[in-house]
Structure 1
Amino acid sequence: MRYPISYETVHEFVLDNNLTENDTILLHPEDYSVVAAEYLSENNFTLYRPVEVLGIKVLEDTDGEVKRKHIYVMPLAAS
């Protein structure tokens, strides 16, 4: 994905790619900040809460592997 990441674009990505609760989305820290702010605003949360889009966890990439304006999906490891 090479366009600005927002809560709406992540929402569309989840639907378009049939993600399930077994998947986790990783975002570049700058993109994560945008999505988290929109999530908190849209859901009227004032305290930090884990970010989810349609039940899919959205996490900040702390290892520096996800590029800006890209969405990385990390599937649940098979047991």
Structure 2
Amino acid sequence: MFDLVSELSQKSQALRPAQRAYLAELLLDSIHISADQTIEDAWAEELKRRVDKVDRGVAKLVSAEDAFAEVRRAIL
């Protein structure tokens, strides 16, 4: 694996700066996509859990007005 990374690094040095920047952007985007998907999956599971609690009638529901009032009290 290290050999491949080393080879790619050496070959990338032959690219023009704009091409290297574009390659770097593509590589970074590929990392963010995986992380973003993990986050999206976690939020989807959380949403399912919360909807299930509402459907079963065990969630404590608060009006938006009360929620905003509580936030205002907390920050003042």
Q: Using structure 1 for the length normalisation, give the TM-score.
A: 0.27
Q: Which has the higher strand share?
A: 1
Higher relative contact order (CA 8 A, sep 6+): 1
